[in-house]
Amino acid sequence: MLFFYPLFTLNNHYYKSYSKALPVETEQFPDSLLKNIIPIQSSDSQLLNEFANSFENRRGYLNLILTNTLPTVISSANELILLLKKEYNIQ
């Protein structure tokens, strides 16, 4: 089951619990977003811009993790695997 968060739902109250879950857990969610009558907020350009900015900030943060943090973690994990193989004579 895929969840689509429509752009008109700017009030995070309605779907903040969904954003905490891993993608593999989404099939366990009830279809509460589809069953509830969610009020449509105004199409105020300032609100939409704020919403777009939050996505841009999130994209930048995730990009930093992917480009800076992840390679270091992978390198450390590889070093640990080599040390464990050496210590326990694992092929």
72-89 pLDDT, tens digit each: 999 999 999 999 999 999
Q: What residue type is assigned to position 29 of the chain?
A: F
Lowest mean pLDDT among 6-10, 12-16, 50-54, 70-74: 6-10
12-47 pLDDT, tens digit each: 676 676 677 766 666 666 666 666 666 666 677 777
Q: What is the pLDDT of residue 3?
A: 44
The contacts of residue 8 (CB under 8 Å, 6+ apart) are: 40, 41, 43
Asked if pLDDT for residue 6 goes beyond 80, the answer is no
Asked if pLDDT for residue 70 goes beyond 50, the answer is yes
At 5, the pLDDT band (50, 70, 90 cuts) reads very low
Dihedral angle over CA of 47, 51, 52, 54, nearest 10: 140
* CA separation, residue 28 to residues 9, 14, 34, 50 (Å): 22, 17, 14, 30
Instruction: Give CA–CA dist 47/83, Å, rounded.
Output: 52
